[in-house]
Structure 1
Amino acid sequence: MKGPVFMYYRLTNFYQNHRQYIKNFDFDQFLGDRVGSATLRTNCDPLAYSSDGKVIYPCGLIANSMFNDTASNLTSVDATGTYEMTTKGIAWPTDKQKYGPTKYQISEIVPPPNWALRYPNGQYTEEFPPPDLSTQDRFMVWMHVAALPDFRKIWARNDDQDLPAGRWRVSIDMNFDTLQYGGTKWLVLSTTTALGGRNPYLGIAFMSIGALCIVLGILFTLRHLIKPRKLGDESYLSWNQPGGGLPSNSRALALQSYCQAGYKPIENKDLQLDLTPLNREFVVYQNESTPPTTLSIVTQLNLCEALPIPDEKDNTDICTKGALICRKTVYAKKLKDDKETEFVAIVQNIAVDVEETNIMYSKLKPEFKPIDAEADATKRTFNKHDQSASITLECDESQSRSDSIKAGEKVPDHKDDKNGDDKKKEEESKGMSGMGIFFTIVLVLAAVYFIGGAFYNFKVYNARGRDLIPHLGKFYFF
């Protein structure tokens, strides 16, 4: 086995992920500080004090349940020789900063219950003093609790020598009882290679996720082939939907009554109008050029439903959401580099589709008036042809325009002149291509693989450094 060689102990059915177990330690005590009684009981009960009132050091459930089997170095059976293992480097360098020699007097502390057999009469003495936790690398490793009940923790390592092939003997003192909770314990030798090692759990998990992604990819592909949808189509945006994309019960008003089919402008007469073609947005431009500046009055209107205006209260360049008629006064100036600077000077809400109006907003109130018979071009052919209607929009200048809003200046991007075909191609090119979606999925799966694998190796195997890389080590079980 090529070096470096790592020795692990593996425990099964041992749950370190219980909340009470995880939080049952005192950080300040591990640093070596004396801890107050209330704090110690809060953090370490029921293993804060012994029955005779002495402080348990180190306190808590995690420290008390530390794996206490011992394993010797490997001794060759076929030949004379020993393969030396060391605890140097099995703990993280940052762990050294979390532990220190205790400031308690020996007479004030006792070992945890499961440590008592290591000390005469279960007490610390001058000959058998309390451990200096800053030098106990295996204790630091144990304090990193595992997320799953089947986990491995490093015991020793050899970074300099290869392990020759052959039969090797290791002597183990069996102190850690796994029968009481129905678990098992293993000794594991591991090394790292460029091809990785045996890790069936991660392999099964990643293959399952990969298979699920392939199935979803096939389903989405079939759906796209059967019912394709243009990528980047802005018509699917909520503010481009009728009523601004809101549910029908959340809109300001429903379709205006006069835009419904069969509308009767005069109640006592059987005269019906079909104004449904008006249910779309119209834009009217009035331009006045005084070089180098062009004044444009842009009027947007939909006589049936509110204009598709996004709900952006801080944007002063657009009308209020719910507007039926919106008028803007825009000044455009051509610069030396052929770019244009636009300045929206005034934004007016001519009519707003709301239940209640105030002095700033007016509700659209159409009036239907018959015209003179001489001016009605359809009157003379009424019996032979369908009757049509002439709609004239007149602005009532007597109404207050106090809703004018001074807008801020904005500089639009430079726009090249394009014909209709170029614009259509540009719209179709928006959005992510199929190849882009494929590589995005691959990138996401790779990220899930490496991040998930690193987290698993960290929690289960207490790995660090390059050992965090999934499938980097090859394991042999004895």
Structure 2
Amino acid sequence: RPWLASVASGELAEDTTNREMEDPENNVPKLPHDKKWKQQQLPAWQPIATPRNTVITLALTGSLLLIIGSILVASNNQITQIVERYDNRCSLNATRCNISMSINEDMENSGNPLHFSYGLTNYFQTFRRYVKSRSDWQLADVDGTLETCDPLEKYDNGTTGSRTLYPCGLVANSYFNDTFKAFYCPPNSGTCELLTGDDWKSTDISWQSDRDKKFKARPLASDETNVGPQGFPLPPVDNENFIVWMRVAGLPTFRKLYSTVGRSFQKGGEVRVEITNNYPVSSFDGTKSIILEEVNWMYGKNDFLGILYLLWGCLCLISAVAFAVYQHVHPRVIGDPDLIPAVAKEVATT
């Protein structure tokens, strides 16, 4: 069959390509402009991974990672942090519970206020049904559906009948409702002062984009309620502790900022935290803790990033040494024709 021979020789394919490129009206080929960009003739650099280049690249990369990791670890070690677990020391729904945080090192407020946070463990906020159960339209006070709040779009508390929840959804209605007050007791002093104002500030703790665009409070409508299954009124949706809670954590062990502390604490002093312990965690085997920490250019204390850089740096250096030793023991000449298989040689010569 003649057309098979044409296909085999490439004539048919070439003819088809030419016909597709021609302008049927003016019979002018539709060729790209004769420019390096459109003709794919731009200068390019294609590195060849020779053993020498590979060893040098791995050694330089490993050294750079070790330097960065050392800086991160050193900076992280300069941050003073105090963590106290309290769920096992405070009775649930008790009137008040006092936890003391001893200041063993000076905690300086040098341009960045200290952070007071609460921490939870074994709490999976990224569970699919949980994280999807919210209405960003309702939170931003714009027209939109509430069906995304399933299964907590409405709630019947047994007295007022079924009403639309505001805010609706599992994320909002699992709001962390423990409250905290802090008192600072200077060293060698028998009195403690309540932290207020800029010394205990619960504003500017959320993302500004969330405050400006995503959370807009409004009064309750007649067919709405802000009391959900937990049995307490939820705060306004523009409350910053609520906004912080609504930005779900990616890992089951997390902490969320509760307030900033705009003062320094001296070594030997004590911070006493008065806690209203309302939030149950025993049902999912979780724990609760309070965290007081300094803040520097790395934000808060976090060992993970620095250790990760050090591990990858060590891995790169070990790989560089392994490649160098192997190349020294079993050298390979680049471009040696004897390394080409015999079959490939026959194909190349025919």
Shorter chain as denominator, the TM-score bin is 0.5 to 0.7
What residue number does 1:420 align with? Answer: none
Q: In structure 1, the residue corresponding to 2:315 is in which secondary structure?
A: helix
Between the aligned partners of 2:283 and 2:309, the Cα distance in structure 1 is 34
> Are the aligned partners of 2:155 and 2:229 in contact in 1 as well (CA < 8 Å)?
no
In the alignment, structure 1 residue 199 sits paired with structure 2 residue 302: yes
Q: In structure 2, the residue corresponding to 1:187 is in which secondary structure?
A: strand
What residue number does 1:61 align with? Answer: 170
Number of matched residues? 227
**Alignment map for 1:29-428 (pairs within 5 Å):** 29-35=138-144, 39-41=145-147, 43-51=148-156, 52-76=161-185, 78=189, 79-83=191-195, 84-96=199-211, 97-102=213-218, 105=221, 107-118=222-233, 131-134=235-238, 136-159=239-262, 161-165=263-267, 166-193=269-296, 198-228=301-331, 280=349, 304=350
Could you tell me which amino acid in structure 1 is paired with residue 108 of structure 2? K
Between the aligned partners of 1:59 and 1:94, the Cα distance in structure 2 is 21
What residue number does 1:393 align with? Answer: none
In the alignment, structure 1 residue 2 sits paired with structure 2 residue 104: no
| Change in 2 beyond 3 A, CA 1:49/1:92 | same
Greater fraction of residues in helix: 2
TM-score (norm 2): 0.57
Which of 128, 133, 137 is 1:24 aligned to? Answer: 133
Gaps of 5+ in 2: 1-106
Between the aligned partners of 1:15 and 1:93, the Cα distance in structure 2 is 25
Shift of 1:115: 4.7
Could you tell me which amino acid in structure 2 is paired with residue 85 of structure 1? W
Q: In structure 2, the residue corresponding to 1:32 is in which secondary structure?
A: coil
| Change in 2 beyond 3 A, CA 1:196/1:45 | closer
Which structure exhibits the higher relative contact order, with contacts defined as CA atoms closer than 8 Å and separated by 6 or more residues? 2
Between the aligned partners of 2:185 and 2:317, the Cα distance in structure 1 is 50
> Are the aligned partners of 1:2 and 1:191 in contact in 2 as well (CA < 8 Å)?
yes
Q: In structure 2, the residue corresponding to 1:133 is in which secondary structure?
A: coil
| Change in 2 beyond 3 A, CA 1:45/1:112 | farther
Shift of 1:180: 1.3
Could you tell me which amino acid in structure 2 is paired with residue 218 of structure 1? V
Shift of 1:234: 11
Between the aligned partners of 1:141 and 1:197, the Cα distance in structure 2 is 16
> Are the aligned partners of 1:34 and 1:104 in contact in 2 as well (CA < 8 Å)?
no
Structure 1 residues 126-155: Cα deviation after superposition (integer angstroms, max 9, x where no partner): xxxx74423x11111111111111111100
Shift of 1:116: 2.6
> Are the aligned partners of 1:100 and 1:133 in contact in 2 as well (CA < 8 Å)?
yes
What residue number does 2:10 align with? Answer: none
Between the aligned partners of 2:300 and 2:207, the Cα distance in structure 1 is 22
Structure 1 residues 162-205: Cα deviation after superposition (integer angstroms, max 9, x where no partner): 22330221110001111111111110001124698643444544
Shift of 1:114: 4.5
Between the aligned partners of 1:48 and 1:32, the Cα distance in structure 2 is 16
In the alignment, structure 1 residue 14 sits paired with structure 2 residue 123: yes
Between the aligned partners of 1:242 and 1:226, the Cα distance in structure 2 is 23
> Are the aligned partners of 2:295 and 2:301 in contact in 1 as well (CA < 8 Å)?
no
| Change in 2 beyond 3 A, CA 1:203/1:178 | farther
Between the aligned partners of 2:143 and 2:336, the Cα distance in structure 1 is 66
Provide the aligned C-alpha RMSD in A: 3.2
> Are the aligned partners of 2:185 and 2:193 in contact in 1 as well (CA < 8 Å)?
yes
Could you tell me which amino acid in structure 1 is paired with residue 155 of structure 2? S
Between the aligned partners of 2:296 and 2:143, the Cα distance in structure 1 is 46
Between the aligned partners of 2:252 and 2:299, the Cα distance in structure 1 is 23
Percent of matched pairs sharing the same residue: 30
Shift of 1:217: 2.5
Deviating more after overlay: 49-58 vs 146-155: 49-58
Could you tell me which amino acid in structure 2 is paired with residue 163 of structure 1? F
> Are the aligned partners of 2:235 and 2:242 in contact in 1 as well (CA < 8 Å)?
no
